[in-house]
Every structure is written in C-alpha cells, then in structure tokens.
Structure 1
Amino acid sequence: MERWSRVVERQGNAPPDDIPLVLAREGHHGPVVHAANRMARQNGIHPGARVVDMRAICPELQVEYADPAGDIAALDRLVLWARRWCPWTVRDGTDGLILDTTGSDHLLGGEAAMLVEMETQLSLLGLTAQLAVAPTWGAAWALARFGPVRSISGPDDVAIKLGALPVKALRLDADTVLLLRRLGLKTIGAVMDVPRLSLTRRFVKAELNSNPLMRLDQAFGKLAEPVASVDAKPRFRVQSRLAEPIFDPTPYLPELCENLCAALKQAGQGCRRLHLTVYRTDGDVSHVDVATSATTRNPGHLHSLFRDKVERIKPGFGFDLITLEAGGVEEMQERQNRLDGGSDDDLHLTRLVDRLSAKFGPRAVTRPVLRESHIPERAEGQVAALAALAETGDVVTKERPLRLFDHPEEVRVLYAVPEGPPAQFVWRWQTHRVVCYAGPERIAPEWWKDRPGTRLRDYFKVENQMGQRIWLYREGLHEDGRGGDPRWFVHGCFA
C-alpha cells in the first residue's frame, strides 16, 4: 500500500486520507483485498476478504488494482539494500525480510540500537515496519507479527514469550490453524502442553506448513532453518587514482577499458552500458554514460564510444580519481566463426549503430521492430536502435509489400460485383486496369484500440496491365451500418 501511495503521489493522483481504499487482486471467487489503508482497516476491512463482502460493510470503499509482481520486485531490491546491517538477508514470503544479524548487532550498539536504526532508515524510505529480534527465524517471525514485545534475549525466553501467542504465529496454513482451534488449541503454549506423541500420530505425514511439531522445533532452534542469502550481482568496476590533478581523462581510458573487459571476460560476462565517473578536487562529480546495442566486452570498441563525449566534462580545478563501471551485465560466450578458431570482428553492424548513437544521440538512430497487431500500419514501429532488442514483438508471417505508405492513398474504383475485387481504379491521375488479383484478406478492427464504428478492411493484391503489383483495400461493406459506400485505398506496392 505504501509503495502504491508513493507512486500516485508522484503522479499527482493521491486520494485523500479520509477515504477508505483497498488494493485488490484476483481470487478464486472474485477480487479479494490485497492491502488496505488506515481508514479502511478502521472500518473492519482486512486483507484476504472478498471485495464484494467489504463493499457491503463499507459502501464508500474505493478499490484500485494491486501489483503483486511489482511488490515482490521491490522487496527483492530491499533485500540487497538491507545488507548495510548484516551480510545475510533474504526475502520472507511476500511481506517480510529475514536478517541474520549474528555478530553484527554489536557494531550498531546492541540489538535495541540496531532496531531503532532499522526503523529510522525504513521510515526515511516511506515504509513502516514491524521489527523483532529473536534467536530463530520462526520466533522472530512470530514476534514481529503477533508479539507484544520486539526482542527475545536468549533461547530460554523463547517458550515464555511465544507461549501466549496464537497458533497462527507458528506459520501454519489456514486449514491447520482451523483444526487446532477446533481441538481447543488456540495458543502456542496450548500446543506445547499436548504430549508430543499425540501430535506426532496426527501430523506425521503432514507437510512443513501443516506440521505444528516441525514449526515448534524451528521456533525453538531444535530444527535448523538457515538463512540462504541471495547473492548480489557482481559489480565490475575499475578505477585510476592519480597522484596529482589532471584536466583530461582521455589518456587513462584505454587502460581502464582493458582492465574492465579483462574482468568481464574472466567472469564470462559482457556489458551493455558503461558509466564513467570523474571526481574533481573541488568535490564535484561528473558522469558520462555510453550504451551498446549488443552485449560486448571489446575494449577498443568501448573506448571509441567515449571519443566525442569526454570533451563535455568540465575539469574545473582538475580531478584526481576516475572510475569506470559496467552496467547491463549479461552472460556472454565466445563464438568461433573462423576455421582457425578466431572470431571475425572487423565488420559489425552493432558497432556502427553504437558509434552513430554515441555521436548523434540515442534517439537519432532507429530501427524497425514488429508489433503484436494485424493492422498493417501498427504492425511495425521505430524505436531507438539501442533499445530495439528488448521491444520487438511477434513476427508477422503474412506477405506484406516491400513499400508500405505512411498514409493510405484513396482511389476511385470500378468493380464488377460489390463484394469482389476492383476491375479498374484511378490512382495518382493514372488509370490502372486489373489483370489478376489475390484475396481478399479480411482484417477486423481492434476493438480495444479503435473507436466504435471503425470499419473492417478487405485487402487485395492486384497486378495492373504494366505488371505492377499493388496492395489496396476496401474499407467497409455495403449496408454494414457503419457509414455510406465503401472506400478504397492503396496501401503499398510490391517489388
């Protein structure tokens, strides 16, 4: 909810705080509440409830769509951000983080000071958090969500602090929680008082989320639950520290590119972007970025992209530190395309595109890409050559003319039958007599994009008396209720 609120605030569409609002996601029986703001929670609305039922409780409820995938991606980024406190961090489900702070809390003045520091830093990001410290993953999870206290000092206090919490705090699924409540076991302490043999007979074949014995052992540290930390992507960065300030970084770029590409090659990686940072002696920092249309680790090519951009750096009183960092790092393998085992890299279209884009700007060089549309003028578009690889759509297999007009040209047509091909048409002040034809190919309007009343098209490939092949279409049908007589247009020419 807080991430959504920040997005709409930047867009200037933030709703007032006194309006109950929920974010909804699809459920088995219709939309369900994914998150609710403070006013909605005060009206008795809680996550997991059906939106239809909550509207009956609160008629003025405002509903927006949730973005669960975006929430997971933001939480994954937060996992790496939280490594400022400890090296072992991992995402816990869809709404939590687990940090193994063993040996790290004393660096921040103890567990209490560490919790204050975490809460402060998260609040600066606009996030509220429920924090807890415990000897085990399960105990920390229970305290953060259900516990009245935020810290357990030692293993001996785990049973005391967790005993009064509800059985839901054992990370059990809803069916198991309901079964335990029907048996009169409403708290963790009540489950602990049941003889272990009795619970074993009942849940011996249950999975982890349905087995209260295994969850108890995890919470008390009897069953190991290590933090399998996600590895951060390696950063490829080289730098050059200078003994005295200089005013031109050009002499140092070849060596920086060589060292960076050597590190990329050793790791089997390539890059799509380079970030050059120059640190001036007066404290100012200058940046120069270049990009490539394909993954590469060729030092000569990467160095050439900076040729016309380094001049834009204002040296001031000089700079004494230069760093070069690779961005858009991807896996890259060597390809052999010569019999002697080498690679012919002398002529590459991608390198020409990179040099032109670096010289004239990323928007000056474009390439055509296919779009997911049957409408001919929408099936192809132009994007920046550096970004085209990530934005291509599905390939259209139907035959299309080599030359497609930006705007179809209307023509006058004579035809034998209303629904058939043209027998003759006048285009560009010339009369064209149809010798042979193929078609029609009917293309219906795209109802999700076109306006109501848009007419369908019937395309014909025709050949005139001079052997010229032309692509034209009839817009609409007679008496289709969407306008007058059909209109004819020439849309392109074949080779």
Structure 2
Amino acid sequence: MPLALAAPGPHGPVIHAANRAAELAGARIGARAVDSRAICPALRIEPAEPDRDAARLARLAFWARRWGPWSTPDGDEGIVLDITGTAHLFGGEAALLAGIQAGFARAGLTAGLALAPTRGAAWALARFAPGRPICTDPLPELAPLPVAGLRLSGETLLLLRRLGLKTIGDLAAIPRLPLMRRFARAAPSDNPLIRLDQALGRLAEPVQPPEPAAEFFAEARPAEPAMAAADWLPGLLETLCARLAAADRGCRRLCLSVFRTDGERRDIHVAMAAPARDPRHLLRLFDGRLERLDPGYGFDLIRLAAEAVEPLEPAQPGLDGTAPPGLALARLVDRLAARFGNGAISRPLPRDSHVPERAETPGDPLVAAPPPPARADRPIRLLTPPEEIRVLYAIPEGPPARFVWRRQTLRVARHAGPERIAPEWWQDRPGTRLRDYFRVEDDSGLRLWIYREGLAHDGRGGPPRWFLHGIFA
C-alpha cells in the first residue's frame, strides 16, 4: 500500500517521508499532501512523529555498534558507523556490508549501504550509487554522482545546476577561486568546496558518537520546583561517593545538571587532578559556581554524574593521621583550577635538553605530579626572553665587573663559573653562538645568572654580547 507521512507546512501538510510504493505512485518529499493524494487516490497519509523517529534512530545507531565501536545518527534518516580495524572480524569488507544489510532486513528495515575512506564519500555512495559500493579512491567513485551527494541545501544545489555543475566531477574539475568568491559567506555545512574537500579526505570530519550513559550517578527530584542546587548537592555527593567506594572507583570529572521546568538543561563541570571520592573535597570544587547557575522558573530534577571514572583503592593514612603522599598536591591543584580555570594552572615538565629555556615545557594543569627537581646551580626564575645588559668593565675570561641592567649599575662582588653550554646542532640554526654562564652576586646580595654569548674572533658574528637570564631566590 502506498504510505506517506505528513508534517505541518506553510500551506498545509507536506510529505515528510514515503515508502517505495508511494514514491512509485508519484508522492514526493516536500510536496503538499493534497496534491499527492490527487495524483494517487490510494495514497494513505499518516501524521509524522519526528521526535519518536529521532529516538528510534538513536537506539538503532547504538544497536549498530555490534559492527564497530563508534556509531551515531547521521541526519534524520541515516547512521554513520566507523569500522576502522573491524572488517576482518566479519570476513572482509564485502562480507561485513552483506551482514549489515541482513541485520537490518531481520529488523524489518531496508538500507542503502556504502563503505568509503571518508564520511562524506560514504554518505553520497549510500544514497546515489547502486548496490553496496566499496570505495578506495573517493574522486573516481564520486565523479559521476550528482552534486546532491555533497549534502548541500536546495538553494545551493539549484545554483550549482544553473552554473552547469551537475555532477561532483564537474565541480572538482573547475577552478576553485571563482567558487570561493561566490560561496565566501556560505555556512561551512552548505559550502560546496568544503563539502567536496571533506568527501575527498582533504578536510577531517571525524565521527562524534554520543557518550554512553554514566555508570555512577545520583539524582534528586524535589517535590516542588526548586531554585537553589546548593541545598541538594551535599546529599548527592554523599550518595555518589558511597557508590564509588563500593566499587573501589574514583572520579576524575563530575557533571552537575539541573533540568528546568521549561525543558532547558544547565550543566556545571568540574575536573580533578587525581581520582577522588571525598565528598568534602568535591563539594569545595563547586564553591562560587552554583551562584552562576540560572534555575529559570525552577528545576524538578538535579543529577550528579561521574563522567570519568578510574580505579581507586582504599589508602591507609599515616600513624599521625596525615593523608597519603601526593594527595595534598592533587587537592590543591583541584581547588586552584576550580577557582581560576584550567588554563591558568600549569606545571613544568622536564625535556631532554641542556639549553635552559628548552629544559622545561608547560604540562597538563590537571595532572598532580611533583615538578622536576631543581638544580642548585640554576635559578628557579628565568627571564623570557633573556634581557641584554651593558657591560662597563669586564674581567678577562670572566664575568663583567660592572654592568647596567634596567638602568641600574651593578658591581659584581662574587662570581662562580663559567659553565659553557654549546648550541644544539640538530635544531639550532647554523652560526648559533655558544654561551658561558656565570653566577654573580652584587654588593646588596642580589644573585643573578648571566651569560656571554659568543667568543671574540669566533667567526660567528661581532663582539660577544651579555645577557641576564635568571634571578636566584
């Protein structure tokens, strides 16, 4: 029986979807329902339910993960599945596609399938190529297909047809500059050049599947719409941490969600430097953040979920009641990151280099590891970049006796060195000069780390230059 689903339109119901019999009878998606029934009097029209269709498609996409670990709905009528590294488990790519089609058939569904190196190429081949194509080189396979295979809007497709570009091969063959000017203001999802590059693999378009439901969570449902989440948070943390402790787990990331009565949802995320399940510590990470949560007309559900969970065995405190080593540092990092933001906190990571400014690099702020051990002959604070100093009098083969730094004239009372550091030939430019470092102290006790760049008559530039690189504590 010809069957079509109708959705509200500007001038009455329009065809939202149709089965094969309805399409053969003349029903077209987007046409008015009364016109389609006039063409085919036997056409049966039912109201469309897009929300239920989307929920069904999401469940179907999750069910399709039996053929690959990542899958997600693709628009209103498709599923994209990443099968990287899994085809051999099903007897090869051809056998995998046949098995997928058989699985959908057992569920009472028909599906157009295609396998390609890119998401855009697979989308076009599944809808416009016959059979179950397996693509290895996108451009030759996509060239004869219509430009509608690039996932463009109707207005853009009409414009391309008026320009004489009917196939993807026609679009790929013409110069890009005129099209770049014409579609400069188009959205990325409706730009034919961007869509072409995605289909050919020139631009990345990774699959972003929805995250699975949290394994550890706690919920509260107020009897009446509530306005403040702070009243419910301590109890939720106690419940969540008890569940984590029962499974010997700790959380690295928490999400507090409030579901408002108007259908909106608001989230607050906090992250930890190390796995934790102490309710008092986790509660402090929400200080000053709950006030920025807009409750609207109130919320009727509050949910606290552990989004990242790791094993955490019970730790024995010391005989004096002190916490295990490293725990205090991790909690300090958590509090600082919660107050100032993750980007404001960093720690140095050691690098295999003897050049001082390359020996460390900023690391992950949410990793509570001790900093690399400091050398006694190196200052803790380095100037970036080193500041050039003007030498008034220099000791032969030694440091300057007097020099000017930041408009101050300093006299060297004591010094130690030199420590010679040669250039790293595998990454420095040719002609880079060596350095001779000195630790100097002036009359007031200020201890500085200075170096001479180059030697006289070394053939790598003019006279040596002096710089101040660090200040000792």
Q: How far apart, in 2, do the equivalents of 1:475 and 1:244 lie?
A: 73
8 Å contact from structure 1 (residues 357, 364) kept in 2: yes
Deviation at 1:414, TM superposition (A): 4.3
Deviation at 1:400, TM superposition (A): 0.8
Partner of 1:302: 282
- Gaps of at least 5 residues in structure 2 are 1-59, 70-81, 91-95, 126-131, 136-211
Kindly report which structure 2 residues correspond to 1:157-168, keeping only aligned pairs within 5 A, or say none: none
**Structure 2 counterpart of 1:475:** 453
Structure 2-normalised TM-score? 0.53
SS of equivalent residue, structure 2 residue 109: helix
Match of residue 444, structure 1, among 423, 426, 434: 423
**Structure 2 residue corresponding to 1:113, chosen from 109, 121, 125:** 109
**Map of 1:94 onto structure 2:** 85
Aligned partner letter, 1:318: G
- Asked if 1:267 corresponds to 2:255, the answer is no
The DSSP-based 3-state class of the residue aligned with 2:122 is coil
- The 5 Å alignment of 1:71-220 reads 83-85=62-64, 94=85, 96=87, 98=89, 110=106, 113=109, 115-116=111-112, 126=120, 128=122
CA distance in 1 between partners of 2:119 and 2:234 (Å): 40
Give how far 1:275 is off: 0.9
Q: Which residue of 2 aligns with 1:491?
A: 469
- Give the Cα separation in 2 of the matches to 1:304 and 1:470: 41
Offset of residue 309 of structure 1: 1.4
- SS of aligned partner of 2:378: coil
Contact 2:333–2:368, Cα closer than 8 Å, also in 1: no
Match of 1:425 among 390, 399, 402: 402
**Contact 1:412/1:427, CA 8 A, preserved across alignment:** yes
C-alpha displacement at 1:286, in angstroms? 0.9
Q: Does 1:281 align with 2:261?
A: yes
Which amino acid in 1 is paired with 2:399? P
Q: What displacement does 1:484 show? A: 0.8
Q: Classify the secondary structure of the residue corresponding to 2:240.
A: helix
Contact 1:370 1:396 in 2 (8 A): no
SS at match of 1:328: strand
Q: CA deviation at 1:413?
A: 5.9
C-alpha distance 435-356 of structure 1, shift in aligned 2 (>3 A):
closer
Partners of 1:123 and 1:416 in 2: how far apart? 68
How far apart, CA to CA, are the structure 2 residues paired with 1:335 and 1:130?
Answer: 55
> Is the CA contact 1:254–1:303 (under 8 Å) kept in the aligned structure 2?
yes
Q: Which residue of 2 aligns with 1:325?
A: 305
Q: Structure 1 145/361 Cα, relative in aligned 2: closer, same or farther at 3 Å?
A: closer
- Describe the SS at the equivalent of 1:348: helix
Is 1:89–1:97's contact at 8 Å kept on the other side of the alignment? no
- SS of the counterpart of 1:237? strand
- What is the CA–CA distance in structure 2 between the aligned matches of 1:278 and 1:127, rounded to whole Å? 40
Shift of 1:284: 1.2
Change (3 A) 1:340 1:480: closer
Matched residue of 2:313: which SS?
Answer: coil
SS in 1 for 2:470: strand
Taking structure 1 as reference, are residues 433 and 246 closer, same or farther at Cα in structure 2, changes over 3 Å only?
closer
Q: Could you state the TM-score of these two structures normalised by the residue count of structure 1?
A: 0.51
Q: Which residue of 2 aligns with 1:236?
A: 216
Shift of 1:248: 1.9
Counterpart Cα distance in 2 of 1:86 and 1:431:
71
Opposite residue 408 of structure 1, the aligned amino acid is E
Counterpart-to-counterpart distance in 1, 2:389 and 2:322: 55
Q: What's the offset of the Cα at 1:92?
A: 7.4
SS of the residue aligned with 2:228?
Answer: coil
1:264 and 1:284 mapped to 2: Cα distance? 29
Amino acid at match of 1:405: L
Which whole-Å CA distance do the structure 1 matches of 2:101 and 2:416 have between them?
80
For residues 462 and 117 of structure 2, the distance between their equivalents in structure 1, rounded to whole angstroms, comes to 63
Query: 1:303-358: CA deviations, max 9, x gaps?
Result: 2222321222222222222221213322222222322888479x934334433432
Are the structure 2 counterparts of residues 267 and 88 from structure 1 closer, same or farther at C-alpha, using a change threshold of 3 Å? farther
Amino acid at match of 2:455: L
Question: Which of 401, 405, 410 is equivalent to 2:383?
Answer: 405
Q: SS of the residue aligned with 1:437?
A: strand
What residue identity is the alignment partner of 1:425? Answer: R
Kept after mapping to 1: 8 A contact 2:351/2:360:
yes
Aligned-partner Cα distance in 1 for 2:100–2:457: 79
Residue of structure 2 equivalent to 1:221: none
Contact kept in structure 1, 2:346 and 2:363, CA below 8 Å: yes
| DSSP-derived class of the 2:231 partner | helix
Aligned to 2:23: none
Superimposed CA distance per residue, residues 415-468 of structure 1 (whole angstroms, 9 cap, x where no aligned partner)? 554xx32362324444534655323321415764x5554433222334667876
What is the deviation of 1:82? 6.2
**Counterpart code for 1:113:** L
Report what 1:69 is aligned to. Answer: none
Asked if the contact 1:238–1:324 (Cα under 8 Å) also holds between the matched residues in 2, the reply is yes
Are the structure 2 counterparts of residues 97 and 258 from structure 1 closer, same or farther at C-alpha, using a change threshold of 3 Å? farther
Q: Secondary structure at the residue paired with 2:389?
A: strand
Q: Distance in 1 between matches of 2:456 and 2:233?
A: 69
Which of 232, 236, 241 aligns to 1:256? It is 236
TM superposition shift of 1:475: 0.8
Q: 1:355 to 1:441 in 2, by over 3 A?
A: same
Letter in 2 for 1:424: A
Distance in structure 2 (CA, Å) of the matches to 1:358 and 1:422: 46
Does the aligned pair in 2 maintain the 1:277–1:324 contact within 8 Å?
A: yes
Contact map agreement 1:241 1:321 (CA 8 A) in 2: yes
Q: Distance in 2 between matches of 1:398 and 1:316?
A: 57
What does residue 374 of structure 1 align with?
354
Q: 1:354 aligns with which of 324, 334, 349?
A: 334
Deviation for aligned residue 1:288: 0.9
Q: What code does the residue aligned with 1:426 have?
A: F
CA-to-aligned-CA distance 1:351-396 (integer Å, 9 cap, x gap): 344334323433344444445543323434556743575xx99767
State the alpha-carbon separation in 2 of the partners of residues 339 and 476 from structure 1.
Answer: 57
Distance of 2:455 and 2:339 partners within structure 1: 51
The answer as to whether partners of 2:274 and 2:368 remain within 8 angstroms in 1 is no
**SS of residue in 2 equivalent to 1:421:** coil
Supply the AA of the counterpart residue of 1:251.
D
Change in Cα spacing, 1:93 to 1:431, as seen in structure 2 (3 Å) is closer
3-state SS, counterpart of residue 412 of structure 1? strand
Which of 294, 305, 315 is 2:295 aligned to?
315
Instruction: Deviation per CA, 1:264-304: give whole Å up to 9, x if none.
Output: 22222212211111112222111111122332111122122
